[in-house]
């Protein structure tokens, strides 16, 4: 099993940046597909970005391409989400998640396939 803890959320103005961190404990994460999901009030949870086991491939939802960057450091059991050019529509609770399986672009639409999730970190972007 893997336990995930997110940090780095906060309140910023539109156009600002934040870097989210997800620290894993338990099993080593180098066999896990990992990703970031978000949920805004009144909306369903949606995939933001996923990254393959070694970090060679990444996939993003269209809305964040070119603005967000997902990365991971397996030696430190850590995953990151660098968020630039933030918009008010990015306001949400952000969760990191992991599953032992392959990562595909379709993983963005398969949050239920990620059994391990953190408690979330709030990101609020004001206009």
pLDDT by residue for the chain (127 residues), tens digit each?
Answer: 999 999 999 999 999 999 999 999 999 999 999 999 999 999 999 999 999 999 999 999 999 999 999 999 999 999 999 999 999 999 999 999 999 988 998 888 888 899 999 999 999 999 9
Strands 2-7 and 18-26: antiparallel
Among all chains, which residue has been given the structure tokens 């336990």?
3
96 touches 117 (CB < 8 A):
yes
pLDDT score, position 125: 98
pLDDT score, position 85: 98
Cα dihedral value 111, 116, 68, 22, nearest 10: 170
**DSSP structural state of residue 72:** E
Phi, psi dihedral angles at 69 (to 5 degrees): -135, 125
pLDDT score, position 112: 87
- Round to whole Å and give the CA distance between 59 and 19: 18
Helix (H, G, I), strand (E, B) or coil at 111: helix
Among all chains, which residue has been given the structure tokens 């529509």?
89
pLDDT score, position 91: 98
pLDDT score, position 120: 97
Phi, psi dihedral angles at 8 (to 5 degrees): 105, -5
Strand partners, 47: 37
pLDDT score, position 72: 98
pLDDT score, position 32: 95
């Amino acid at each position: 099993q893997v336990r995930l803890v997110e940090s780095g959320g906060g309140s910023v103005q539109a156009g600002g940046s934040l870097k989210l961190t997800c620290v894993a404990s338990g099993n080593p994460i180098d066999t896990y597909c990992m990703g970031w999901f978000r949920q805004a009030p009144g909306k369903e949870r949606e995939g933001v970005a996923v990254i393959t086991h070694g970090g060679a491939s990444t996939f993003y939802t269209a809305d964040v391409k070119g603005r967000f960057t997902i990365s991971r450091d397996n030696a430190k059991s850590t995953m990151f989400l660098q968020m630039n050019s933030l918009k008010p529509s990015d306001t949400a609770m952000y969760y990191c998640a992991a599953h032992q399986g392959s990562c595909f672009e379709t993983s963005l639409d398969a949050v239920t396939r990620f059994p391990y999730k953190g408690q979330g970190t709030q990101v609020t972007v004001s206009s």
